[in-house]
Amino acid sequence: MPDSSDITSAADAPVTAETIAAAEKRVVFDDPHAGTGGLQEAEVTRVRALRGGWRWALVVATAATILLCINQQFTLRFFVDYTQLNTEYFYLLIALMLPFTFLIFPGSERAPLDRIPWYDLVLFVATFASAIWLMMNIRQAAALGWEYSGAPMPVIIGGLVMWAMLMEALRRTGGWSLLLCVFPFTVYPLFAEWSWLGPFRGSQSTLDQATAYHVLSGESLLGIPIQAFADTVIGFLVFGTALMMTGAGKFFINIAFALCGTFRGGAAKVCIFASGLLGMMSGSIISNVLTAGTMTIPVMKKSGFRASYAAAIEACASTGAVLAPPVMGATAFVIAQFLNVSYADVALAAVIPAALYYLGLFMQVDSYAARHGLAGIPRSELPRVWDTIKDGWYYIFVIALLIVMLLYFKRESHAPFFATALLLVLNQLFSKDTRWTFATVGKFLEVNGRTFVELIGILAGCGLLIGAFSMTGVISSLANDLLTLAGDNALLLLTMCAFTSLILGLGLTTTACYIFLAILVAPALEKVGLNRMAVHMFIFYWGMLSSITPPVAIASFAAAGIAGSPAMKTGWESMWVGSIIYFIPFFFVLNPALVLQGDAPYLAALGLMTMAGIGTLFICGGIQGYQAFVGDLRRAGSLEWPLRVLLVIGGFVIATPGGGIMPISQLQIMMLGLAILIPTILIAMFLVRRNPIVPAEPVGS
């Protein structure tokens, strides 16, 4: 992460291609976690850099992981006509990647970073040995049904070792909060018949039965999260890393500066646009912050944004990376597995929610800049659009290939590998500055390896959570209990889900939070007639907010490190900047046309998106205190805050889709929203024009 001297020099320098390239190179090549999307604050700075033989072991294991994925997805059969079972493939990936968790992530704050302690080596060997042992037995287990009964004791012992290693890996990668949320549920089948569990009472298992089910069935460790990782996540992570290491960050950030830099509050709008473009390709929150943030945050500070607010804007803009297609975060692939649909269907469903997300941020920033009188960046300091396109035109072809393969050919498992191959060929032919060498290949594999290690630690551990509920069979009864509690009221259920998600998000990463709610709450929401895709996108959207919500707030803390602002202050500021985000999920779950579901969704989605955009305009005006086409609401004097509250309420009403589970129609909702907004706007316009101009508030650092 850049130090204070980097920040100072960046703030004082003009925005040129050279400074952007230098910032990008510093992030991608000097920070091995540039591609990581789930690190918490302490873990961003406290990881062990592998050296010597261990570094090369990680590089080789990563290369083997990628080749295994290619072999499995393209059915190469190792070129010797040997077909590997999917479960054998999953365990081989676990054996290659999971043991490195104990080498890269220290066990405590007192653990050394310059060497690997003996106990971490013991955990490394134990994890590798148990994974290989289980892989060797998984074919026979599938044939004889060992996941239900009859598993021999040596397999049970190997499973117990794996169970313990998974929990420790989960603690090291996701923190104590994630472990404390997941571990009680993994052992819950051992006590499922206890009466005090209430609605969670289910079928009880012995330790042997629970162990066998966790490590041998396709519903737990080898379930949805690991399947998503093995089938699609690996390819997209490889593509995202290759894109960043061939200079795409420079290209996208230059495009953003050239197009948006001169606008009011231009530096912040550049931040939103650049982070959106980068996020579409990387799907990584931390990568977005560290790549775009090293350039946009110092320029925002120079333009007049206070440090914490600049960091908050970058955090919110980067968080959209996991929502913006075509390359979304790992959670999107888990959604596809849960719904048993193609990844392309999930990516299409995310188009309008992602557009509303960035539209809301853009309007927030515009209102803030207008209220505080923040100008854009002089054109002389900005790169030119044509020069930028000439330097990086081939990225457009790569992205086009990826989108065509995803949406037209529906080959999501193949698309990232073809796109990566084309990218590397074009980069070697047409780029002198980012042409790869053998050293670059080694760094590329190391960066991917660290990302694989962290993700597999979290996803494999969370898989046991799914297995526990599958084993006890309580999901159906729990859904019925939730429906009874809510009185079959869908709006109340959605509110309960949003509140639960926010609470879980305070201690969990996006993927873990989504898995919890997809198991516990989604079945109840589906039973009241809500669209499945809309329900899972709703849960995903709310879980995503953990990235800007303290105490996790990984995006906020990373951005605060660049801005030099207090971490927790930046987290709370991010919640305020991103407050519009908390409204948007309700829009598309109330009418699934906004996630392109239902009859004639495209036509309906266009009208609903227009109404949501208009409503968002008024919500942002109320939140920031400056309403477009009206002016600075401080001129309204004592009526400022009542007017702002009415703008937020009116905007939310007019953006809310009618019909469906809503008791009133779309026309009635629109009339109600206009009844609130029209008098509010007229009064605001009268007061703003009558009163003298209020000086801009001080917004310096």
Closest CA to 563 of 334, 335, 267: 267
Q: What is the pLDDT of residues 410-440, one digit of tens each?
A: 888 899 999 999 999 999 998 888 889 999 9
Alpha helices per DSSP H over 530-598: 532-544, 554-563, 567-577, 584-590
Mean pLDDT computed over 380-406: 88
Q: Which of 14, 189, 36 is nearest to 555 (CA)?
A: 36
Locate 74 and state its tokens: 């393209």
Query: What is the dihedral angle through the alpha carbons of 92, 94, 95, 99, rounded to the nearest 10 degrees?
Result: 170
Listed residue (355, 272, 338) closest to 587, CA to CA? 355
Other Cβ atoms less than 10 A from the Cβ of 70: the count is 16
| Whether 291 contacts 323, CB under 8 Å | no
What does the pLDDT look like over 596-625, one tens digit per residue? 887 766 777 888 889 989 999 999 999 989
Place of tokens 């790992």: 330
Written as one string, the DSSP assignment of 422-449 is HHHHHHHHH-STT---HHHHHHHHHHHH
At 699, is the pLDDT very low, low, confident or very high (cuts 50, 70, 90)?
A: very low
The distance from CA 273 to its chain's CA centroid, rounded to whole angstroms, is 17
pTM of the model: 0.83
Model confidence at 694, pLDDT cuts 50, 70, 90, reads: low
Q: How many angstroms from the chain centroid is the CA of residue 271?
A: 17
Q: How is residue 319 annotated by DSSP? A: H
Going by C-alpha positions, the residue among 235, 673, 281 that lies closest to residue 418 is 235
Diameter of the chain measured on Cα atoms: 85
Dihedral (Cα; 195, 197, 198, 201), 10-degree rounding: -80
Rounded Cα gap, residues 698 and 376, in angstroms? 17
End-to-end CA distance of the chain: 20
User: 431-434: long-range contacts at Cβ-Cβ below 8 A with a sequence spacing of 24 or more?
Assistant: 431/246, 431/247, 433/21, 433/247, 434/245, 434/246, 434/247
Least confident of 371-375, 392-396, 508-512: 508-512
